[in-house]
């Protein structure tokens, strides 16, 4: 019989395998980007979708740096966005699959 801790670890491993960050091609593209873009991608891996403001809060980066990181990620086709269901004035971001 497996313990609860083993079950949680197995679920986390499955979730990590489904993450775009587990894809070697995605990781190679990300490797060429600045550290701020890597941090934003890591935050999005765990808590997507997030708005620009939420990304700034979670990553502890300034809004301007988050905007730059999102632009670099978007240019590399590593992040996508859509309008928020909660507030149609805002866009939320998530990693491209």
Does an H or E element contain 7, and which?
Answer: helix 4-18
Q: How far apart are CA 90 and CA 48, in angstroms?
A: 14
Domains in the chain with CATH codes = 19-95 (1.10.10.10)
Which residue in the block uniquely carries the two structure tokens 């632009």? 71
pLDDT at 17: 56
pLDDT tens digits, the chain, 97 residues: what are they? 445 554 434 344 434 457 888 888 999 999 999 999 999 999 999 988 999 999 999 999 999 999 999 999 999 999 999 999 998 899 999 998 7
């Amino acid at each position: 019989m497996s313990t609860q801790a083993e079950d949680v670890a197995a679920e986390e491993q499955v979730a990590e395998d489904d993450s775009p960050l587990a894809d070697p091609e995605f990781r190679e593209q990300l490797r060429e980007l600045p550290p701020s873009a890597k941090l934003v991608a890591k935050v999005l891996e765990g808590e997507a979708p997030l708005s620009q403001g939420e990304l700034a809060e979670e990553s502890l980066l300034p809004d301007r740096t988050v905007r730059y990181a999102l632009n670099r990620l978007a240019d590399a086709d590593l992040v996508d966005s859509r309008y928020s269901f909660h507030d149609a004035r805002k866009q939320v971001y998530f990693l491209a699959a």
